[in-house]
Chain A
Amino acid sequence: MIVDVLQTASFTEIERVRKLLFPGQVLVEEGMEVHPSDVVAEAQVPSAIMMLDIANGLALSPEETTACMLREVDDILEEGDVIAQCEKKLPRLFRAPADGKIISYHQGGMVLATETSKITITANMIGIVKEIIPEYGVVLSSHGSVIQGYWGNGLSGSGVLKVLEASLDRPITVSMLGDMAQDQVIASCACLDEDALDACFENQISGLILSALSTDLIEKVNALPFPVIVLHGFGEHSLAQDVFEIFQSHSEASISLNACPVDYFDGERPEVIIPKDEGQIARSLGFRKTLEVGDRVRITSGKMFNQLGKVVELLEEGQVFENGVVMPAAIVKLQRLEKVKVSQHNLVVVG
Chain B
Amino acid sequence: MDHQGVLHALLGLDIGFVNTRASYFGILEEKYRLQACGMASSSLGKGFQLGSGAGAAMQDLQSRSDVHILKPNGELIWPYYETGLGVDRIAVTISGGPKLRTVLLGLTEAGSLKAGRALVESMPLKIIGSYNLTALADEAGLVDILVNHRPDLVVLTGGENGGAEKYVKGWIDILKLVYRILPEEIKPDVLYAGNTFLEDSVKRYLEPLANLSVVPNIRPAQQEMDLVPAQAAIDKIVIKRWQKTIPGFKTLITRSKSIAGTKSFVFSRMIRYLGKANTKTHKGILALDLGGGSTLLGAGLGEDSGVLVQPAWEGLPEPLDDDTIDFVHQWTAARVTRNEVSEYLCNHALQPNFIPENSRGLAISQAYARYRIKQASRRLAKNFAWFPYKQEKGLVGHFEPVIASGAVLTQAPKAGQSMLMLIDGLEPWGVTTIVLDRHQILPMLGLIGTQEPVLPVHVLGSDAFESLGTVIVAVSDAPENEAILNVRVKTDNGKDYEVEILQDTLKRLVIPSNVTAELNLEPMVGTDVGFGGCGVGGRLKVPGGRMGVVIDARGRPLRLPEDDEKRVAELKRWSVVLGG
Contacts and interface: CB of A to CB of B under 8 A. Distances in A.
Interface of A: 1-4, 21-23, 43, 45-51, 73, 103-104, 111, 113, 117, 150-151, 214-216, 218-219, 222, 233-235, 262, 264-267, 286-288, 290, 300-302, 321-327, 342-343, 345-346, 348
Nearest to A119: B150
A223 to B, nearest CB: 11
Nearest to B96: A264
Nearest to A24: B183
Q: Which of A218, A323, A326 has the most CB of B within 10 A?
A: A323
B158 interface: no
B182 A215 contact: no
Contacts of B354: 300-301, 345-346
A104 B47 CA distance: 42
A49 to B, nearest CB: 4
A45 B46 contact: no
B98 A288 contact: no
Contacts of A48: 140, 144
Interface in B203-239: none
Contact of A234 (B43, B141, B346, B357): B346
Interface stretch (B124-132, B314-322, B475-483, B495-503): B314-322
Interface stretch (B173-181, B300-308, B377-385, B508-516): B173-181
B185 A23 contact: yes
Given A45-B181, A301-B357, A324-B413, A267 B143 contact: no
B181 A113 contact: yes
Nearest to B359: A323
A310 B353 CA distance: 20
B140 A51 contact: yes
A215 B181 contact: no
A317 to B, nearest CB: 11
11 contacts: A2-B42, A4-B351, A4-B353, A21-B150, A23-B183, A150-B347, A150-B350, A267-B45, A267-B46, A346-B353, A346-B355
B46 A264 contact: yes
B43 to A, nearest CB: 6
A218 B44 contact: no
B205 to A, nearest CB: 10
Interface residues of B, number: 54
B185 A235 contact: no
Given A22-B183, A45-B147, A103-B177, 15 more contacts: A22-B185, A113-B181, A215-B320, A215-B343, A216-B319, A267-B45, A287-B47, A288-B46, A288-B48, A321-B358, A323-B362, A325-B356, A345-B355, A346-B355, A348-B351
A339 B54 CA distance: 32
B493 interface: no
Given A288-B48, A345-B353, A265 B147 contact: no
B414 interface: yes
Contacts of B183: 22-23, 43, 45
Given A3-B353, A151-B317, A21 B185 contact: yes
B357 A266 contact: no
Contacts of B351: 4, 150, 233, 300, 346, 348
A1 to B, nearest CB: 5
A325 B362 contact: yes
In the A-B complex, the 6 residue pairs with the closest CB atoms: A267-B46, A324-B413, A2-B41, A22-B185, A22-B183, A49-B140
B309 to A, nearest CB: 18
A49 B143 contact: yes
Given A234-B343, A301-B356, A104 B180 contact: yes
A327 B412 CA distance: 11
A286 B139 CA distance: 46
A262 B98 CA distance: 13
A22 B141 CA distance: 23
Contacts of B139: 49, 51
A43 B48 CA distance: 29
Interface string B168-196: 00000000110011111110000000000
A211 B477 CA distance: 52
A290 B42 CA distance: 11
A325 B357 contact: yes
Contacts of A104: 176-177, 180
A275 B359 CA distance: 43
Contacts of A265: 44-46, 98, 245-246
B144 A264 contact: no
Contact of B350 (A23, A262, A286, A324): A262
Contacts of B176: 104
Contacts of B42: 2
B411 A218 contact: no
